[in-house]
């Protein structure tokens, strides 16, 4: 597949405009044509894909593992590579996870450590099991893809230093409670302006996401893994975003995030082994036709290209929708002929034939209102490449007669994914649409000869989920200040002040519950470990950064255990990465 040139005729000039494919699209479509020779030992696959489940997930049957596996496997089947999948054998204990529901209830001010230490032991057991694969000398030629959800993401990042980075193709984390996104720090973070986004930020729509609810691994992407890591955090996931949704932490399957990650992962596998990637991305393509009277001379030619685009979209497994619009001066609202749920090729063709040119009056048409209506009327598929193809011979009212503005349309486009606007019009009005196309990452075509090339371009394009949703939100997250820490034998009472509505209490990475009180008492502390108490202020829909209190035992007097309390807002770090000098 080659890049194509679109010729635009603007003001009598023909300019060659090189179609610039997205970087991901290039990798997806041109992974190479030569397969590496296989030199593996018996029983060693070319690529081994290991997944670490989240808290409470049962081995080999958890929905997250099965979805992660199936979305990648359906793509690997198109290659001749040898591969296997491993659902990491470790406890993935549910200690604390069930109590996430306590984020919306009051449990009181007394908490016991109880079995919370099993959580840390579970993570360590996962690390030790994963280290066995990292140290597998027999399969030294095998490449690895590592995926981890929630607790499993913690297992991955703690084990990375033990892997040879040259053997690791990609590391994908989902709902990581120790995510680190420095661009989300501050009242008005850089991420909310779409700036300074971390390379490993693949899908984290919350622009205020900064550190996970359990702290942060710093650095999140070690030097030797640059370009080999990606993190996905559902929109309002309490563990990795600045919000407090429990539901968003358990819907990574239904929201299509594993499918989105599978395309990135498969692309990386293609590049690592030099095999061709023949997987097309899903497309949602809405076609909006100007049916005012002035379109009479060209509407049939436009219909021909609309049908061709619909055929190719449906043949690739995508979905199409068909609308037409006129001017607000006409007693005519945008008409939905078929949508993504019911538009077969047969129905599309039938409905296309019912569209005819009529009405109108002045030149500008009601495109802004019509396009906003189409975008909000349709149920767009998460993770699909979203296109709105407009066929018109006129410019548009701005603002529209119902008050719809250019900025409102662009904002809605970006909010959805974005929806890329492709405008097919005549040369006279090409310039008028350039700003709209540029703002939605689309394109303008003004030459009938180039219509088929535009269709090819749309079909070849691949858009992953947006890395972040830009926001003009200005608001302070809740904060918490520790006032007093009073030890008493093997327990400790902590009093604090907070601007939040309630406080989430976490001991040694295990979530104990939430309280509306301003004090907590922790008992049954383990004298053999350094105990870390984390207090997370929660607002109605947002959470603030946790405050950590380190509760450290020491034997200062023979036969007597004393409790030393250190109030210290610490960042959690992964072990030193070999050969990088970084922590």
Q: Three-class SS string for 60-110?
A: CCCHHHHHHHHHHHHHHCCCCCCEEEEECCCCCCCCCCHHHHHHHCCCCCE
For the chain, the C-alpha Rg in angstroms (whole number) is 28
Domain final residue pick, 273, 299, 315: 273
Whether residue 335 is contained in a domain is answered as yes
Using a cut of 0.75, tell me whether the model's pTM lies above it: no
Q: Which of 247, 242, 249 is nearest to 544 (CA)?
A: 242
What sign does the dihedral 458-460-463-464 (CA atoms) show? Answer: positive
Would you tell me how many other CB atoms lie within 10 Å of the CB of residue 454?
22
pLDDT of residue 14: 30
Give pLDDT, residue 452.
67
Domain assignment present for 108 = no
- pLDDT tens-place string over residues 417-459: 789 999 988 888 788 889 999 999 899 988 666 666 777 788 7
Same domain, 249 and 134: yes
Helix, coil or strand: residue 313: helix
Do 511 and 556 belong together in one domain?
yes
Structure tokens at 469: 């949703």
155 lies in the same domain as 179: yes
CA–CA separation, 103 and 402 (whole Å):
43
The answer as to whether 312 is a domain residue is yes
State whether 381 and 521 are in the same domain: no
pLDDT of 67 > 80? The answer is: yes
Average pLDDT over residues 354-374: 81
Tell me the CATH number at 89: 3.40.50.1820
**CB contact at 8 A, 577 and 160:** yes
Is residue 470 one of the residues assigned to a domain?
no
Please tell me whether residues 312 and 415 are part of one structural domain: yes
Backbone angles phi, psi at 184, to 5 degrees: -100, 5
- Are 57 and 65 spatial neighbours (Cβ–Cβ below 8 Å)? yes
Q: How many CB atoms lie within 10 A of CB 196?
A: 12
The average confidence (pLDDT) of the chain is 81
Phi, psi of 141 (to 5 degrees): -95, -10
Cα angle: 65, vertex 66, 70; to 5 degrees = 120
Residues 293 and 324 in one domain: yes
User: At which of 214, 242, 273 does a domain end?
Assistant: 273
Q: Summarize the confidence of residues 321-346 as an average pLDDT.
A: 86
Question: So what's the pLDDT on residue 5?
Answer: 34
Number of domains observed in the structure of the chain: 3
Query: Same structural domain for residues 373 and 489?
Result: no
Report if residue 579 sits inside a domain: no
Which of 239, 273, 307 is the last residue in one of the domains?
A: 273
Lowest mean pLDDT across 35-49, 82-96, 175-189, 334-348? 35-49
In this predicted structure, what is the pLDDT of residue 333? 75
Look at residue 417 and tell me if it is in a domain: yes
Q: Name the strand (E) or helix (H) holding 488.
A: strand 480-488
Report whether pLDDT(41) > 80: no
CATH of the domain at 364: 3.40.50.410
**Whether residue 265 is found in the same domain as residue 123:** yes
pLDDT category at 60 given cuts 50, 70, 90 is very high
Please compute the mean of the pLDDT values over residues 21-28 and round it to a whole number. Answer: 37
Please give the residue that has the higher pLDDT: either 29 or 299: 299
Query: Mean of the pLDDT values across residues 187-191?
Result: 89
Two tokens at 58?
A: 């049962």
Q: Find the CATH number of the domain harbouring 521.
A: 2.60.40.10
> Is the domain of 224 the same as that of 85?
yes
Say if residue 317 is preceded by a cis peptide, omega within 30 of 0: no
Residue 109 counted as domain residue: no
Whether residue 417 is found in the same domain as residue 531: no
**Residue 541 is part of which domain span?**
480-567
What does the block give as tokens for 53?
């489940």
Residue 565 pLDDT: 55
Query: 449 with 527, same domain?
Result: no
Could you give the residue ranges of the DSSP H alpha helices within 141-274?
151-159, 257-273
Residue 553: pLDDT band with limits 50, 70, 90: low
Whether residue 245 is found in the same domain as residue 169: yes
Which structure tokens are listed for 410? 């662009």
Phi, psi angles (nearest 5°) of residue 36: -65, 145
pLDDT (0 to 100) of residue 307: 93
Average pLDDT for 216-238: 95
Would you say residue 132 has pLDDT above 70? yes
Flag whether 423 is in a domain.
yes
> In the prediction, which pLDDT does 357 show?
81
> Band of the pLDDT at 2, cuts 50, 70, 90?
very low
Q: What distances in angstroms separate CA 379 from CA 287, 354, 360, 442, one per listed residue?
A: 14, 24, 29, 20
pLDDT digits (tens, 9 = 90+) for 240-251: 999 999 899 999
Mean pLDDT of 81-97: 88
CB-CB contact of 488 with 494 (8 Å): no
For residues 81 and 72, give the distance between their C-alpha atoms in angstroms, rounded to a whole number.
13
């Amino acid at each position: 597949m080659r890049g194509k040139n679109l010729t635009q005729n603007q003001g009598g000039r023909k300019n060659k405009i090189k179609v610039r494919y997205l970087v991901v699209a290039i990798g997806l479509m041109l992974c190479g044509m030569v397969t590496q020779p296989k030199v593996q030992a018996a029983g060693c696959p070319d690529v081994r894909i290991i997944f670490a489940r989240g808290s409470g997930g049962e081995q080999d049957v958890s929905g997250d593992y099965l979805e992660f596996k199936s979305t990648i496997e359906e793509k690997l089947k198109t290659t001749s590579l040898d591969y296997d999948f491993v659902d990491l054998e470790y406890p993935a204990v549910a200690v604390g996870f069930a109590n996430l529901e306590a984020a919306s209830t009051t449990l009181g001010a007394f908490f016991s450590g109880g079995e919370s230490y099993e959580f840390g032991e579970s993570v360590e057991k996962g690390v030790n099991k994963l280290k066995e694969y990292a140290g597998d000398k027999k399969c030294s030629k095998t490449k690895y893809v590592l995926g981890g959800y929630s607790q499993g993401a913690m297992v991955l990042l703690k084990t990375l230093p033990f892997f040879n980075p040259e053997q690791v193709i990609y590391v994908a984390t989902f709902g990581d409670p120790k995510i680190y996104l420095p661009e989300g720090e501050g009242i008005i973070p850089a991420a909310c302006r779409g700036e300074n986004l971390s390379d490993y930020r693949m899908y984290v729509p919350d622009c205020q996401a900064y550190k996970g609810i359990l702290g942060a691994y710093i650095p999140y992407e070690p030097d030797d893994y640059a370009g080999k890591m990606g993190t996905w955090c559902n929109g309002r996931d309490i563990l990795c975003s600045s919000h407090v949704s429990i539901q968003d932490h358990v819907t990574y399957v239904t929201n299509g995030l594993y499918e989105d990650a599978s395309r990135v992962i498969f692309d990386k596998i293609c590049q690592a082994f030099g095999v061709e990637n023949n997987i097309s991305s899903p497309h949602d393509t809405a076609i909006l036709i100007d049916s005012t009277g002035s379109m009479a001379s060209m509407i049939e030619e436009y219909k021909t290209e609309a049908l061709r685009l619909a055929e190719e979209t449906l043949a690739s497994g995508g979905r199409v929708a068909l609308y037409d619009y006129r001017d607000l001066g006409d007693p005519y609202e945008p008409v939905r002929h078929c949508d993504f749920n019911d538009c077969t090729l047969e129905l599309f063709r039938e409905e296309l034939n019912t569209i005819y040119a009529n009405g109108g009056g002045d030149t500008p048409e009601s495109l802004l209102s019509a396009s906003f209506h189409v975008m909000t009327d349709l149920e767009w598929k998460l993770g699909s490449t979203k296109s709105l193809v407009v066929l018109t011979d006129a410019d548009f009212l701005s603002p529209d007669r119902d008050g719809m503005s250019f900025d409102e349309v662009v904002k809605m486009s970006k909010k959805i994914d974005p929806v890329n606007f492709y405008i097919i019009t005549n040369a006279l009005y090409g310039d008028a649409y350039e700003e709209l196309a540029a703002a939605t990452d689309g394109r303008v075509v003004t030459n009938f000869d180039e219509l088929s090339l535009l269709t090819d371009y749309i079909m070849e394009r691949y858009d992953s989920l947006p890395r972040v949703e830009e926001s003009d939100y200005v608001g302070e997250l809740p904060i918490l200040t520790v006032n007093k820490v009073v030890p008493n034998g093997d327990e400790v009472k902590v009093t604090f002040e907070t601007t939040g509505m309630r406080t989430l209490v976490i001991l040694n990475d295990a979530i104990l519950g939430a309280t509306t009180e301003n004090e907590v008492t922790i008992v049954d502390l383990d004298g053999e470990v350094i105990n870390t108490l984390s207090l997370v202020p929660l607002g109605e829909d947002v959470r603030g950064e946790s405050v950590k209190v380190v509760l450290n035992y020491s034997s200062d007097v023979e036969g007597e255990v004393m409790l030393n309390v250190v109030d210290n807002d610490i960042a959690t770090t992964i072990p030193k990465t070999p050969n990088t000098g970084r922590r």
